[in-house]
A and B are shown apart, each in its own frame.
Chain A
Amino acid sequence: MLEIRAASKTFNPGTPNELLALQAVNLTVNDGSFVVIIGTNGSGKSTLLNAVAGSFCLDSGAIFLAGADITKWPEHKRAKLIGRVFQNPFSGTAANMSIAENLALAAYRGKPRRLGWPLRKHLVSQLRDRVSQLNMGLEDRLKNPIGSLSGGQRQALTLLMATWLHPEVLLLDEHTAALDPKSADQVTALTDTIIRRDKLTTLMVTHSMQQAAYLGDRLVMMHRGRIIQDFHGAEKQRIRMDDLLARFEEVRAPNYSTRAPPRCCAACISDKPSSIIIAPTQAK
């Protein structure tokens, strides 16, 4: 279980660029739950993921994961419990190293690195197995440098690496945003398959309303460093893309206050006819 308690973070405090990235955010994610996080630009969704991953320290608040208080753990120590996929396909893999070496690095996630040989026979055959399940023909190219692959292939491999040792929580930060539509669909399908198969506790940030509507069992919407909406269970399943876009219009309105209670539940907005044009990147 992941529990975020009153997490607050201000970037550049006391300067004109001051940004209240997280304002006392509370979020409890049960084991096996797949939470999709959406929000306006600068709403703090990526910051929330980075706070869990340990990219920076919180100003106040606490984070518990798998029963441990990880608030003060450095990033590399948290990695024992966390699998991550970044937005940039270049961030998740070492370009000059081979596919096999990259995967082997992930197979030792959180374990001490000593003088043992990483590419042992049983690991290599395991690598070949799992890579062939991607259906990308990469199993015969295990010795090729990862830099020679396409963004979609790299993201698929990063996903495989992040989930290799069943993480306590999987963090996906707009991991399909930099891909072409076809690769994005492929990686999205793969994401869903892996998360369902391994019953992974997941936090996924996305800008794609389509992913937000169709993936996961819980949907959290953020705005100006706060969680302003949290859809569970049946409510989450009823949400359509148009509802989400309408909600975005609402929070973007200049007089919108983050303190106001949600005016409308998903059930009622889903009946409204949509007059909002879907942005090209979100269209299939």
Chain B
Amino acid sequence: MSLLLGALTLGFIFSLVALGVFISFRIFAFPDITADGSSTLGAALAAMLLLHNVNPVLATSAAFAGGFLAGTLTGTLATKFKINGLLAGILVMTGLYSINLHIMGRSNISVLGSSTLSTYAERLGIALARVHNLNVMGWDITALEASLLVASFLFIVLAGCVMYVFFQTNLGTAMRATGDNNEMVRALGVNDENMIILGLGLSNGLIALAGAFIAQYQGFSDVQMGIGMVVWGLASVIIGEALVGTRQLGLSITGAVMGSVLFRLLVAIALRLGLNPNDLKLVTALFVFLALIAPGLLKKLNILKLQSSHA
């Protein structure tokens, strides 16, 4: 039961990564891999500030701001300096590795014992429910687990709604149009470069936010924790698209969140069944590879079927 709750909670937290990847890859069609660095940046910033007894809300906001800056940097390299988008992301991600080490002072710091959003959520949960342990269908769960699940769920619903509304405002519409057809938005008086910079900022801000939440959820920040973040986010987005089967904005956002949760559940089940955790990234990469080529293969298969039925 804790495994299930943990998977759900992580799924909700990781959906911020999925939403970030959705913005860069789907809305802007920009292969941004800054995420691997910006998620760690978020975790490092939040953990460091928490260790210095900064208010957790403030520390988490700082993580968002840090990720936002990292994203705008990638965007600036790609637009103003005309560096290939993939390379711009690699440059920023590589640079961030050193910056993250500097922020933390070493490769791994613990925030256990500090007041974090997790302890806030637990206290609030206990205050509201007035119990320390719950019994759900014969399973004992702690107030901490339940509170984190509810809090992460509520937060992601809020984030999804804000994003849904934002991308329908004048600014958001211009951003979506930039990803769709930048020639057109320039002809309509939009500075498409600024849209990309701002969009990547938001994307990496969300991803850094996820990093900050993960650090507070697991109780530590590690300089390696961001590796594979882009692929995880992409896997969630792809699963989400398979679930909702459309590119419509609201459904896509819901799909990305659902995809992230489902992906985390699958991971939890696979680990439970004995998958070596070291193989997790390889399996995920293979999964994304298969998901990317599947539509093309299905099309070919259909053509073959049609041909054989006509023959």
Docked Cα-Cα span, A114 to B176, in Å, equals 14
Q: Quote the shortest CB–CB distance from B250 to chain A (angstroms).
A: 13
Q: Is the CB of A113 within 8 A of B174?
A: yes
Interface residues of B in 162-204 (CB under 8 A from A): 166, 168-171, 173-174, 176-177, 180-181, 183-192
Q: How large is the interface on B (under 10, 10 to 19, 20 to 34, 35 or more residues)?
A: 20 to 34
Q: Is the CB of B170 within 8 A of A114?
A: yes
Q: Which residue of A lies closest to B26 (CB)?
A: A96
Q: Among B171, B173, B177, B183, point to the contact of A91 (Cβ < 8 A).
A: B183
Q: Among A80, A92, A96, A115, point to the contact of B189 (Cβ < 8 A).
A: A80
Q: Quote the shortest CB–CB distance from A169 to chain B (angstroms).
A: 13
Q: Quote the shortest CB–CB distance from B171 to chain A (angstroms).
A: 5
Q: Which residue of B lies closest to A82 (CB)?
A: B187
Q: Among B173, B180, B189, point to the contact of A76 (Cβ < 8 A).
A: B189
Q: Is the CB of B173 within 8 A of A97?
A: yes
Q: Quote the shortest CB–CB distance from A267 to chain B (angstroms).
A: 39
Q: Is the CB of A105 within 8 A of B188?
A: yes
Binary flags per residue of B232-246, CB closer than 8 Å to A gives 1, else 0: 000000000000000
Q: Quote the shortest CB–CB distance from A108 to chain B (angstroms).
A: 6
Supposing A76-B192, A94-B176, A105-B177 touch, asked if A117 and B168 sit within 8 A by C-beta, the answer is: yes
Which residues on A sit within 8 Å (CB–CB) of B186? 75-76, 79
Q: Is the CB of B183 within 8 A of A118?
A: no
Q: Is the CB of B171 within 8 A of A115?
A: yes
Q: Quick check: is B281 within 8 A (CB to CB) of the other chain?
A: no
Q: Which residue of A lies closest to B191 (CB)?
A: A76
Which residues on B sit within 8 Å (CB–CB) of A162? 187
Question: Number of A interface residues, CB 8 Å?
Answer: 36
Question: What secondary structure prevails in chain A residues at the interface with B?
Answer: loop
Q: Among A75, A80, A94, point to the contact of B177 (Cβ < 8 A).
A: A94
Q: Quote the shortest CB–CB distance from A142 to chain B (angstroms).
A: 14
Docked Cα-Cα span, A271 to B164, in Å, equals 66
Which residues on A sit within 8 Å (CB–CB) of B170? 108, 113-118
Which residues on B sit within 8 Å (CB–CB) of A75? 186-187
Q: Quick check: is B247 within 8 A (CB to CB) of the other chain?
A: yes
Q: Quote the shortest CB–CB distance from B195 to chain A (angstroms).
A: 8
Docked Cα-Cα span, A218 to B189, in Å, equals 28
Q: Is the CB of B177 within 8 A of A97?
A: yes
Q: Which residue of A lies closest to B193 (CB)?
A: A76
Which residues on B sit within 8 Å (CB–CB) of A57? none
Q: Quick check: is A84 within 8 A (CB to CB) of the other chain?
A: yes
Docked Cα-Cα span, A93 to B181, in Å, equals 7
Which residues on A sit within 8 Å (CB–CB) of B169? 114-118
Docked Cα-Cα span, A101 to B168, in Å, equals 9
Interface residues of A in 153-204 (CB under 8 A from B): 161-162
Which residues on B sit within 8 Å (CB–CB) of A96? 176, 180, 247
Q: Quote the shortest CB–CB distance from A197 to chain B (angstroms).
A: 22
Q: Which residue of A lies closest to B174 (CB)?
A: A113
Q: Among A53, A84, A97, point to the contact of B176 (Cβ < 8 A).
A: A97
Supposing A75-B186, A76-B189, A84-B187 touch, asked if A95 and B181 sit within 8 A by C-beta, the answer is: yes
Which residues on A sit within 8 Å (CB–CB) of B187? 53, 75, 79, 82, 84, 86, 92, 162
Among B181, B184, B185, B190, residue most surrounded by chain A Cβ atoms (within 10 Å): B184
Q: Which residue of A lies closest to B176 (CB)?
A: A97
Q: Which residue of A lies closest to B182 (CB)?
A: A94
Q: Quick check: is A61 within 8 A (CB to CB) of the other chain?
A: no
Q: Is the CB of A101 within 8 A of B188?
A: no
Docked Cα-Cα span, A117 to B171, in Å, equals 9
Q: Is the CB of B190 within 8 A of A113?
A: yes
Q: Which residue of B lies closest to A110 (CB)?
A: B189
Q: Quote the shortest CB–CB distance from B186 to chain A (angstroms).
A: 5
Docked Cα-Cα span, A163 to B7, in Å, equals 53
Q: Is the CB of A94 within 8 A of B180?
A: yes
Q: Quick check: is A111 within 8 A (CB to CB) of the other chain?
A: yes
Which residues on B sit within 8 Å (CB–CB) of A207? none
Assuming A94-B185, A95-B181, what are 18 further A-B pairs, CB within 8 angstroms?
A76-B186, A76-B192, A79-B187, A80-B189, A86-B183, A94-B176, A94-B177, A94-B184, A97-B177, A102-B177, A105-B173, A105-B190, A114-B170, A114-B171, A116-B170, A117-B169, A118-B169, A118-B173
25 A-B residue contacts at CB 8 Å? A75-B187, A76-B191, A79-B187, A79-B190, A82-B187, A84-B187, A92-B184, A92-B187, A94-B185, A96-B176, A96-B247, A101-B173, A101-B177, A102-B177, A105-B173, A105-B177, A105-B184, A105-B185, A105-B190, A106-B188, A110-B189, A111-B189, A117-B168, A118-B173, A161-B188
The 7 closest A-B pairs by CB, nearest first: A79-B189, A94-B180, A110-B189, A113-B174, A94-B177, A113-B170, A113-B171
